[in-house]
Chain A
Amino acid sequence: MSILTMRQVDFVVEEKPIINGINLQVNSGDYLTISGPSGGGKSTLLKLIATLLTPTSGEILFNNQAQASYPTTDYRKEVSYCFQQPTLFGETVQDNLAFPFLVRGKAFEQAKVDHLLDLVDLPESYLTKKITELSGGERQRVALIRNLIFLPKVLLLDEVTVGLDSASKAIVKKLIQRVHADGVTILLVTHESDILAQAQQVIWIKEGKIVDESAISQ
């Protein structure tokens, strides 16, 4: 069953096409990686799906309904975007991990957060740690679980393993696989071959167009 459909999606900035007539269908539970040269439109594609940008023309459907028919904040809770080199906000790790609860008007659940910290190999004591004291890999892991406290239907990951040391990268890869196994649809932008190999399907984007699609046998 299709969870995301893009029909003839264009995104133009100052008359320059960034995304050019993209058609794409992603089924529920798919694990799709997006690759291609820098500046080819990969991150823009994810931001369009995340409603952080609006297509100039064409339409994007989520669960066969137009993206625009959903209240934006509800949609973004279901289709969650994790940035390349994310920024943590507030002062402590807890400020970040409490934010998804705040967004939903729910009380902070310590057990849920402890479990996620454990999944990314961070001790529970990290909750009170200042964000300025975290390494790059730790920041990325905190940012990733911030998107996963309430499991979305679709997870959009924008080069989340770039610049990570091998230990952090292995933890993030494992987490992505686990989240996928839990039924979350994954769209991941990457250049890294070991991450590409983990996906079911790879699409190549160049100059805002899909230039190749291939299914990877698992």
Chain B
Amino acid sequence: MNQLSVNNLSLVFSFALVLIGVAISEREKLNLTKDIFYSIARAVIQLIIVGYLLKYIFRVNNVVLTSAMSFFIVLNAAWNAYKRNPNQHKRYLDSLIAIFVSTYVTMGVLIASGAIKFVPSQIIPISGMIASNSMVGIGLCYRSMNQQFHDQHQQILEKLALGADKKLASLPILRASIKTAMQPTIDSAKTVGLVSLPGMMSGLIFAGVDPVRAIKYQIMVTFMLMTTTSLGSIIAGYAAYQNYFNAQDQLIDG
């Protein structure tokens, strides 16, 4: 059943694909060669570490260790989402709460419905999928929000001057930022199966699972990504817009 045949030699040959990227960078003077080698080296080292770590965690099959690994993923996703926020007055806690809630609410529903089991081989990959999608959505939300606060600075001031509270003054920005965060997930759901055969489905098909069974998992993934992106970006958005104001409802740096 398992037809996967990636051995060390085939990995070495597939490294040639990276060299194509390097050649393009050199020829077009993109100055990306160093960055390509660094990112590849980092990815290889991270994957080797995580491969052995997961092997150990799967073998031990301990609830505490599985939960700790899942939480570690959430902490990292939150840190990366936080770093993507261009606002000087950002707070790590906003990203942590958004990713924590969006990940564990989604996962709770999946476990309660019996779609996944609380075993490390399911909890850890699903944590990664959910948290990383939430992270991407939240990062988009932050960037869009920051751009709009910059572009609509005068409008916000005028609304405040008319007696609006910070929420009412920011509402169009908040809505547009959340929409921006969710758009890639919505677009990707529209084309799933037609343009892309996403990671989980492809992985199952690679492993020899019947495509009809594989799509069931992909449908579940589509549902969970929609939930997690919307939950994450709404929580992060509603927390993050407040960091543009001080306690006197004044725009900071305004």
Residues of A within 8 A of B (CB): 50-54, 68, 72-74, 76-77, 80-83, 86-87, 89, 99-100, 102-104, 143, 146-147
Inter-chain contacts of A104 with B (CB < 8 A): 163
User: Known contacts A83-B157, A87-B154: does B250 contact A147 (CB below 8 Å)?
Assistant: no
Inter-chain contacts of B158 with A (CB < 8 A): 83, 86-87, 89, 143
Is A73 in contact with B164, judged by CB distance below 8 angstroms?
Answer: yes
Complex CA distance for A82 and B160, rounded to whole angstroms: 11
Is B159 in contact with A89, judged by CB distance below 8 angstroms?
Answer: yes
The contact of A76 among B154, B155, B160, B172, by CB within 8 Å, is B160
A-B residue pair count with CB separations less than 8 angstroms: 59
Chain B residues bordering chain A, tally (CB within 8 A) = 18
User: Known contacts A54-B248, A102-B168, A103-B168: does B157 contact A73 (CB below 8 Å)?
Assistant: no
- The 10 A-B pairs of least Cβ separation, nearest first, read A77-B163, A81-B161, A76-B163, A72-B249, A87-B154, A89-B155, A103-B163, A103-B164, A87-B155, A73-B165
B162 at the interface (CB under 8 A from A): yes
Is A99 in contact with B162, judged by CB distance below 8 angstroms?
Answer: yes
The contact of A146 among B160, B162, B168, B250, by CB within 8 Å, is B162
User: Known contacts A51-B248, A51-B250, A52-B250: does B163 contact A73 (CB below 8 Å)?
Assistant: yes
Inter-chain contacts of A80 with B (CB < 8 A): 161-163
Is A100 in contact with B249, judged by CB distance below 8 angstroms?
Answer: no
Inter-chain contacts of B154 with A (CB < 8 A): 83, 87
Inter-chain contacts of A103 with B (CB < 8 A): 162-164, 168
User: Known contacts A77-B163, A89-B159, A99-B162: does B250 contact A54 (CB below 8 Å)?
Assistant: yes
